Amino acid sequence: MATETRPAFRDQLQAQWDQGKFACVGLDPVYERIPQHIRSQYGRPDVAMSDFCNRIIETTGDIALAFKPNLAFFERYEGGDENLMDVIGEIHDSFPGVPVIGDGKRADIGATNEHYAALFDKYGFDAMTTNPYLGGDTFPSLVKGHEDKGLIVLCRTTNPGSKELQEMPISILQATAGELLSNSEFKEICAMYEEGTDPISMFMPVYEIVAFLAAKRWGINGQFGLVVGATAPEAFAPVRAIAGDIPFLIPGIGTQGGDLEKTLKYAPDSNKQGMIINSGSAIIFASSGEDFAEVARAKTIELDRQIREGLGIA
């Protein structure tokens, strides 16, 4: 894909939020769920998926804050790379102000991340999801030469098994003694607690530590966002208190049963913005008939209406 000059990711988000847009359409095209009349029209899954996604884009792009294609759904098929580039090209051409978030959760050591960073140019992503497990020294290479792009770090994910690691309690005192946190970071965390709290009794779950590091230590030109799922709405308030106005990518609304009401109560930033509220299959697979694109539009409009009403905006 030819690289075009696009605004910085955070500037794109701000322009969309200022229009009252918060709904992100997740593009996770499962070939077997694509309407039969499209599948029968093409002899290759990747071409059928491209047509399907492009029709969804055409009917929802004027409502959506962003689109979030999941790389795995495209890459599994021969021709999937070209398919994904075609889909993103449709977004750029038809809705140039709408950011594209590549959902691949890629992260590795620095030398490998330089190759992952090339995906910004290859596909035309404005941001990518990434995971924090390898630590903060990996991120500079992931955005090397792409300092205006966004990195959205997994923090509190939607899957039930996420508790196994993400809710594991960490002793703040021991983390500091082990030099996992600096003394200044220790003091900053202490300041978040009620005055007089004994540091020995201070524990934070791993996902709160991730939020703290992403917002306070890892941030590069304000590039970072956090994935905080709507299926665990109890995480919104503490993560927002820790991370300030960092953007939240919020999956889980729709078929996963995430709580939109609590999302709109606890996830907004200090400007009642800061949210990228994603819905995927509940929108793109709302109909299996020839009206699928029109039904997807109706579902996106409904989500947009619910968000606006919940935030009290016109």
CA-closest candidate to residue 49, choices 25, 23, 69 = 69
Q: Is 262 one of the annotated active-site residues of the chain?
A: no
Cα angle for residues 21, 102, 226 (degrees, 5° grid): 65
- Number of helices and strands in the chain (H, E): 16, 10
Helical residues (DSSP H) of the chain, grouped into ranges:
9-17, 36-39, 45-60, 71-75, 80-94, 110-117, 119-123, 139-142, 163-166, 172-177, 183-192, 206-213, 236-243, 260-266, 281-284, 292-311
d(CA 114, CA 16): 30
CB-count burial class (<10 Å; 0-12, 13-18, 19+) for 88: buried
CB atoms closer than 10 angstroms to residue 59: 18
Q: Rounded to 5 degrees, what are φ and ψ at 116?
A: -65, -35
Q: Rounded to 5 degrees, what are φ and ψ at 220?
A: -120, 110
Angstrom CA distances, 77 to 46, 82, 184, 290, stand at 6, 10, 49, 24
Of 68, 105, 122, 149, which one is the catalytic site residue? 105
* Six token digits for residue 148: 């205006």
Phi-psi region of 95 (alpha: psi -120 to 50; beta: other; left: phi over 0): beta
* Catalytic residue numbers, as ranges: 105
